[in-house]
Structure 1
Amino acid sequence: MTLSPAWLDELRARTLLSSVIAPSVKLIRAGREFKACCPFHNEKTPSFTINDEKGFYHCFGCGAHGDAISFLVDNRGLPFMDAVKELAGKAGMDVPAPDPRARERSERAADLTDVMAACQRWFAEQLHGIDGAAARDYLAARGISGAQVTRFGIGLAPDNRGALKRALADLGEDKLVETGMLIRPEDGDRATYDRFRGRLMIPIRDQRGRVIAFGGRILGEGEPKYLNSPDTPLFDKGRTLYNIDRAGPASRQARRLIVVEGYMDVIGLDRAGIGEVVAPNGTAVTEAQLERMWRLEPAPILCFDGDAAGRKAAIRAATRALPHLGPERTLRFVELPAGQDPDDLVRSGGRQAVEDLLASPEPLDQRLWRHERDAQPLTTPEARAGLRQRLVEHAQSIGDPELRRLYRDQWLNQFNAEFGAVRYASPTGQRRPQNRFDKRTGRWLPPAPPASAAARRIGRGGIDTATARALVHGFALYPEALPAHVEQLAHLPIADKALSALRDRIVDAALAEPALDRQKLATILQAAGAAAALDQARQTGGIGFSFTRSDTAPDRAVRDLGIAIDALSAEEEIGAALDEATERLQAGEDTAFDEQQRLHGERERIMQRLASLAGTD
């Protein structure tokens, strides 16, 4: 919808700015203006001024500046159109609708919010009535005060299939069905009935504070423990955050936003005086919910339960956020003590226990690094190669090119620091025993067979120039293989400086442009002055692979490229492990001999696999 500048100017003229700001900030009259402590940063001496005549506010401390619309957007986190609609409603102005159908939808939605408000009032009456004793006892046992019950609008749905339907019959059965408060059986022959029965009712509000749905917590035994409203014209659970109407202003003041798993966690932290808290509505965090969080705070803190499910939910949120990260958009994490949720933490240690935990949140990159590192034992070269590949895949999913590079470098530096820098160890000079004693049979066995000529040619010195040239040429011909193998290509030890520089250009292009084709990559390389190096790479020194031919079927070429570079990467890990085993053997460790022989065998199989690709047509 496009609103004319004249219409917006009229809205601002009809709006008294101080009345918009006063509910959020204590104002002090100062001549023809008002002063206050700034709601956008913490201060003790007022430097925030409001001028009703000119219709703008300004903070001399942090520079915040704007009008009534921007205040609702920046302070309460409302979308622009929601802020406009709220001000227009108070000013008695009709927001122009783009067409009659949009106007009809808007009026219908307003009508349905009235229905939901009536339902919330009725549930609140039931909680405080004669049948609400058990529910009130439950709330008291959870430490939820009467003030919190009122603040969050908590109520009770009686354990009766028709109580709400009868009580609010004057609202119309169709509207109660449309808002999800009644269920209409699909066969159409049976009567409608109440969706929520025997449950504590927790209203879900939009950013303007209007009830749009409910979360029902069962009292006593039964499943599901929590039941949400279905998606309706008012409510899309994947786009809504519980408590966003209260958390928006609170987050501006506290300069942080905390994300917890459930309604009771939000209410529990509120009991400790922490109001800048939201929760997804019983779902994994979605992209739309991340967008809403980032409107309020560039680095929300995820504070999920200290159990396996909570840790899994945190990792799902982290991986879902990766494609959308930016310089001002990330996530942070705190891990609760085992078996505890935020409500438990408040009960055991009060606000100070929560603040101590929130004081040092873990950055997103470190949370994912720790998760992947601890996912499985890293006692074999294959397991370590798997860790490195998972980290590279995470980095590749980041949309921002510069951030993608920084994450990749950060993770690979950590990998090398913890597991040793990448090395290609040559078998040349390794002293292989001429024979070995098998303790199980009591016999001396012959030495392992020597490496084949092809394996020695490719394996000597880790990677020879001809093989490196073939791989670089292959990736230039078939860049669709780069996303899966760019990290391995980046770490190939290439002695030839021109070829190494060409490799670096290809890696840079892959990180900046994930969807490369052959022509686009050639254009990038030519613009970077790498055309001569690319021509040189086509001279493969006699080692032919399917991926060095431009007419090979792309699927086969990509497959063989993957096999070749995986083989070299695995050989690299085995070479490092073989050096360690040899050092232990020289130090007199008996078990190192068997390990050394096993690694020799693995290396030989890998080199044979790579050699089998050479000379393909």
Structure 2
Amino acid sequence: MAFDTAFLDELRNRTPLASLIGRRHKMVRSGRNWKICCPFHGEKTPSFYVYDDHFHCFGCGAHGDAITFVMQSEGRSFPEAVEQLAAEAGLEVPKQDFQQQQRAQEAKSLSDILDLVQASYRRRLYQPEGRHGLEYLRKRGLSNATIERFGLGWSGDGRSLVEELRPHGVTAELLVKAGVMRSDEQGRPNGELFFNRVMFPIKDRRGRLISFGGRTLGDGQPKYLNGPETALFSKRRTLYNIDYAREAAHRGEELIVVEGYMDVIALDQAGFRGGVAPLGTALGDEQLMLLWRMAAAPIICLDGDAAGARAALRSCEVALPLLTPERRLRFCRLDAKDDPDSLIQRGGPGAMQQALDGATPLVEELFNLLVGGVNAPGPDERAALRERLVSLSQLIPDRTLASEYRTSLLDMFFAQFRRRGGKGASTGGDKTPHKGTQHVASGGDERLRLLTAMLLKYPEILPEVEQAYGGLELPQGLDVLRACLFDWISHDDGHLTQERCFKWLEQHGLKEAATETLAASGLLVRRKRAGTGDEDALREEIIEKWWHFYGFLNFKGFEKAVARDIEAAIRSAYAENSGGDGTFPPKLLARMRILDALRRGEVPEAHE
């Protein structure tokens, strides 16, 4: 009984071999792979090795994939093993009929046809008609050995392929199905797809030829052209050079994703055998899963220009919903003037290795892509950026990993946008405040500690002062506490109580630091049991007290923010259909009173 080749490949991709065998046998690590005592013959020392897509016993010679393992270990027939694995993978087994068998036979026939086409292309490269193609490849620095290794060729003028292959029983219709000829609207053959192009064979992970890509040497467009989707070839389900890269990954070499054929080939010639490239499309989820089957932490190496940045951001967004603690990505961003090919030609393999050694984790790349070009954002921009970072971290299905990403992204966010120097808080000086200016009086660190202590004791006020608090430059210990507090309120469902706050801090190893901060702050305000009205009044009093300390520490920033809010309130009051009563909001009035007090030189004290 024949099954569709594409279906079987999909079934194998969705069946991690290590998980399948690990359910039945206890495995131990052996580098990137696993080993067990062979289940098919008695042995005391493990010689049965499990790789990403096949197993091999060096004792008895047993060898195969997931389907083979089920057949040999459970005594099932091929169709029975396929049906069992398909059910476990959530795939529907295609109905077997005469047409299905015909398609399977056709796929084999198309593979044979592509082998004949490649042989033709390779011959042409070394004939007079392929002279310009061969000169181009050698000008790009490729050796004869590399040209042969990758099976590079020349398409010719696109007029003689049918006649050349006719003695082998190959018709124009078959060449259309193989993806090397075009067809018109009625489906009739209408000329060769590739002409006057350097040809790059595209293979599947087992090394079987499935399509071609071609590069024009003139001004024609597109510069690079890939074959169409066929019974053998699906762009989103494979990667260029996946056969050689898979072997390299098994040897422990780095798996490197680059943008094009020539980058892959240049890497290989320089000794980096694990290079792959997408085939004219952005890196997709199925291709990422292929990468993770070969390596736990592949490197995505993109050009340093704007297009490279866009591709990197899209790769991050595609990867996030697929991440697990075992699946990671690293990013290697080159200078804008470089790609891997040009970097190797200019600086040699050492320059490329240095760039790869500097690869950064996905979380850092994601942050830099989103906020790296943002300069002095306003409060609304910062709020939008923070919300974007948090929402992206929530795409990760593993809750523990998502929490770690959220924490890391927010830590970088607050470090990046913390105000410094004249733009933010200072912790030095001993001058008394006076109208129009403000310096932090002696004891600035103590007041910064008090601001933090007030939020630890009354965390329900955090949302109202979060933006201002996030802009202060804090000592290291307080900075860590602040990052944890902000992470907490992004997790919490709105019940911001001191008890829940300290439980969160305890989970993150910061309860003792928070307790010490409260004890050292000199905070004497006590929470009193009272009715709802008294609680609301106390809350407003605490917020005003917080703003008083904040304004004292950061007078210029506070004064500017109040002035901006006054102007906005006036515009709103005079706007058509505003519906307002012409008065300032109570919270703004409170901050205006605090500003007047600071201008009069009133210094807030902790014991009040």
TM above 0.5? yes
Match of 2:340 in 1: 342
The letter of the residue matching 2:216 is I
The separation in 2 between residues aligned to 1:246 and 1:281, in whole angstroms, is 16
Q: Is the 8 A contact 2:285 2:318 kept in 1?
A: yes
Aligned pairs for 1:481-520 within 5 A: 489-490=490-491, 496-497=497-498
CA drift of 1:114 comes to: 0.6
CA 1:577–1:136 in 2, change beyond 3 Å: closer, same or farther?
A: farther
CA drift of 1:578 comes to: 8.0
Q: Is the 8 A contact 2:54 2:64 kept in 1?
A: no
Match of 1:283 in 2: 281
Match of 1:182 in 2: 181
CA drift of 1:491 comes to: 7.3
The separation in 1 between residues aligned to 2:315 and 2:147, in whole angstroms, is 30
The separation in 2 between residues aligned to 1:288 and 1:143, in whole angstroms, is 33
Is 2:342 the counterpart of 1:370?
no
Match of 2:144 in 1: 146
- SS of the residue 1:171 aligns to: coil
The separation in 2 between residues aligned to 1:57 and 1:113, in whole angstroms, is 43
Query: Per-residue displacement from partner, 1:179-211 (whole Å, max 9, x unpaired)?
Result: 1111110045x7521011111110000011111
Match of 2:400 among 391, 399, 402: 402
Moved more, 411-420 or 119-128: 411-420
The separation in 2 between residues aligned to 1:320 and 1:301, in whole angstroms, is 15
The separation in 2 between residues aligned to 1:413 and 1:201, in whole angstroms, is 48
CA 1:378–1:372 in 2, change beyond 3 Å: closer, same or farther?
A: farther
Match of 1:80 among 65, 82, 86: 65
The separation in 1 between residues aligned to 2:69 and 2:178, in whole angstroms, is 25
CA drift of 1:214 comes to: 0.7
Match of 2:302 among 297, 301, 304: 304
Q: Is the 8 A contact 1:266 1:277 kept in 2?
A: yes
Is 2:316 the counterpart of 1:315?
no
The separation in 2 between residues aligned to 1:248 and 1:608, in whole angstroms, is 67
CA 1:126–1:255 in 2, change beyond 3 Å: closer, same or farther?
A: closer
The separation in 2 between residues aligned to 1:311 and 1:541, in whole angstroms, is 54
The letter of the residue matching 1:598 is R
The separation in 2 between residues aligned to 1:80 and 1:200, in whole angstroms, is 35
CA drift of 1:360 comes to: 2.6
CA drift of 1:103 comes to: 4.0
Moved more, 104-113 or 389-398: 104-113
CA drift of 1:385 comes to: 1.1
Query: Per-residue displacement from partner, 1:86-144 (whole Å, max 9, x unpaired)?
Result: x9xxxxx9988873455443322111111111111111111111211111111111011
Q: Is the 8 A contact 1:581 1:593 kept in 2?
A: no
Match of 2:524 in 1: none
The letter of the residue matching 2:106 is R
Q: Is the 8 A contact 1:214 1:229 kept in 2?
A: yes
The separation in 1 between residues aligned to 2:409 and 2:315, in whole angstroms, is 19
Match of 1:583 among 552, 555, 570: 555
Q: Structure 1: any 5+ residue segments left out of the alignment?
A: 4-38, 43-47, 73-77, 88-92, 426-430, 437-460, 469-484, 509-538, 545-567, 586-591, 612-617
Q: Is the 8 A contact 2:292 2:327 kept in 1?
A: yes
Q: Is the 8 A contact 1:218 1:226 kept in 2?
A: yes
Is 2:561 the counterpart of 1:598?
no
The letter of the residue matching 1:118 is L
- SS of the residue 1:310 aligns to: helix
Match of 1:247 in 2: 245
Query: Per-residue displacement from partner, 1:457-512 (whole Å, max 9, x unpaired)?
Result: xxxx99669999xxxxxxxxxxxxxxxx997654799774367689x79xx9xxxx
Q: Structure 2: any 5+ residue segments left out of the alignment?
A: 4-28, 58-62, 84-95, 420-424, 426-431, 438-457, 466-485, 509-530, 574-582, 588-608
The separation in 2 between residues aligned to 1:328 and 1:68, in whole angstroms, is 17
The letter of the residue matching 2:281 is T
Moved more, 390-399 or 250-259: 250-259
The letter of the residue matching 2:241 is N
- SS of the residue 2:351 aligns to: helix
CA drift of 1:217 comes to: 0.5
The separation in 2 between residues aligned to 1:388 and 1:185, in whole angstroms, is 52
CA 1:224–1:67 in 2, change beyond 3 Å: closer, same or farther?
A: closer
- Identity between Structure 1 and Structure 2 (%): 34
- SS of the residue 1:397 aligns to: coil
- SS of the residue 2:331 aligns to: strand
Is 2:114 the counterpart of 1:116?
yes
CA 1:66–1:273 in 2, change beyond 3 Å: closer, same or farther?
A: closer
Q: Is the 8 A contact 2:460 2:497 kept in 1?
A: no
CA drift of 1:173 comes to: 2.2
Match of 2:55 among 62, 70, 83: 70
Match of 1:522 in 2: none
The separation in 2 between residues aligned to 1:400 and 1:321, in whole angstroms, is 13
The separation in 1 between residues aligned to 2:227 and 2:269, in whole angstroms, is 25
Query: Per-residue displacement from partner, 1:539-590 (whole Å, max 9, x unpaired)?
Result: 987999xxxxxxxxxxxxxxxxxxxxxxx9xx99x979984995348xxxxx
CA 1:388–1:265 in 2, change beyond 3 Å: closer, same or farther?
A: same
The letter of the residue matching 1:405 is S
CA 1:420–1:133 in 2, change beyond 3 Å: closer, same or farther?
A: closer
The letter of the residue matching 1:353 is A
CA drift of 1:383 comes to: 1.5
- SS of the residue 1:200 aligns to: strand
The letter of the residue matching 1:398 is I
Is 2:382 the counterpart of 1:361?
no
CA drift of 1:254 comes to: 3.0
The separation in 1 between residues aligned to 2:208 and 2:586, in whole angstroms, is 65
Q: Is the 8 A contact 1:298 1:330 kept in 2?
A: yes
Match of 2:330 in 1: 332
The letter of the residue matching 1:326 is T
CA 1:577–1:126 in 2, change beyond 3 Å: closer, same or farther?
A: farther
Q: Is the 8 A contact 1:41 1:252 kept in 2?
A: no
CA 1:124–1:372 in 2, change beyond 3 Å: closer, same or farther?
A: same
The separation in 2 between residues aligned to 1:353 and 1:370, in whole angstroms, is 23
Q: Count the aligned residue pairs.
A: 445
Query: Per-residue displacement from partner, 1:525-546 (whole Å, max 9, x unpaired)?
Result: xxxxxxxxxxxxxx987999xx
TM-score (norm 2): 0.62
CA 1:255–1:267 in 2, change beyond 3 Å: closer, same or farther?
A: closer
CA drift of 1:330 comes to: 1.2
CA drift of 1:281 comes to: 0.6
CA 1:489–1:260 in 2, change beyond 3 Å: closer, same or farther?
A: closer
TM-score (norm 1): 0.61
Q: Is the 8 A contact 2:459 2:498 kept in 1?
A: no
